[in-house]
Every structure is written in C-alpha cells, then in structure tokens.
Amino acid sequence: MRLLLRVLIVVWQLPVTILIWFFYLLPLIIAREIEFVGWERPLIARFRIISKHSWWRRMWTDWAGCALPHAIIHRSDLSKTTTARTIRHEIRHCHQMFVFGPFFYPLYGLCTACLWVYHTLDEEVHPYFDNLFEQDARRHAGQLTTPPHGCWPKGPDDFQDWW
C-alpha cells in the first residue's frame, strides 16, 4: 500500500517535478551552487548550498531554506538547531506539495496575493507570515506561527532568533 501511495504521489507531482528539477535544481547542481546531502525522507532529497559568493547565494541572504517537489535546499552556515528546524519546516512544505500536487504553487501564490491586498487595508496582516501554508510549516517545525508585528523584517527573514 505504501508503494502504491508513493507512486501516486510521484505521478500527481510529475509535471511540476520535471519542470523544477530540470530547469532549477539540475542547473544549480551543475554550477556547483548546491550539493546532494542525502535522502531526508522517502521521496525527499536534501541539498545544501555550498557556493559562498555567487549571485544565487546572495539572493539567499534572507532565507534559510526552500522546498521543491521531492527536494529541500538549506543553507549550510546556520547553527545545528536552526538547520534542523529549517529542514522540518521545508519537509512540511514538501508534504503540502504531496497533497496539492501541481496546484501547490498557484494556491500558495494566491494566498500570498490575497494577503498582500488585505495588507494594504490592514497593516496587522502580513502576506508572508500570515500565509496559511507558512503558518502550517512553522507550526510543524516548532516555530512561532505568527511572529509579533514589531519583529517583522522587511522580507521573509525566516531564521531570526524569535523563530
């Protein structure tokens, strides 16, 4: 039964997986920006950033990790505790992708866009921190689900001390 479920998950996500792995993940591996660490869970590969000074690494200044279909990428210069929490957070995003399949990215984007519009009316709402997908991932990783308004950085700086 588990094998059948895994096959169904792979098939459900296949269109997005092919696009992202071929056009995003593979070029980063070839350019030696990231390296394969191992399998974090069945169907979830773990990569870490190894490049120190590239344009891509500079783009990651405010981020600790990201989730892709069947893969997570995390920074290698964080503490063990922050790295473990980041991995749990990104694995939760992978599980969200398993559920929503190719609709995950549009739903995530739609949720963010709606919150951004609402943020123009109510500054107590944040497009990133109040995103339902992010709150679920933070809850799963043992992070604060809704950081205090005064702690909001300009961008989604997801490895702050209060996290």
Q: Per residue of the chain (163 residues), give pLDDT as tens.
A: 888 888 888 888 899 999 999 999 999 999 999 999 999 988 899 999 988 788 887 877 778 888 999 999 998 888 898 889 999 999 999 999 999 999 999 999 999 999 989 877 877 788 888 899 999 999 998 887 776 666 655 554 444 444 4
pTM reported for the whole predicted model = 0.85
Q: What DSSP string runs through 108-160?
A: HHHHHHHHHHHHHH-TT--TTTT-HHHHHHHHHHT--SS--GGG--SS--TT-
Domain extents for the chain? 2-149
Cβ partners under 8 Å of residue 95, min gap 6: none
Task: Give the count of beta carbons closer than 10 Å to the beta carbon of residue 114.
Answer: 14
Residue 21 · residue 71 · CB < 8 Å = yes
The residue with tokens 């920074």 is 75
- Tokens matching residue 108: 């995530």
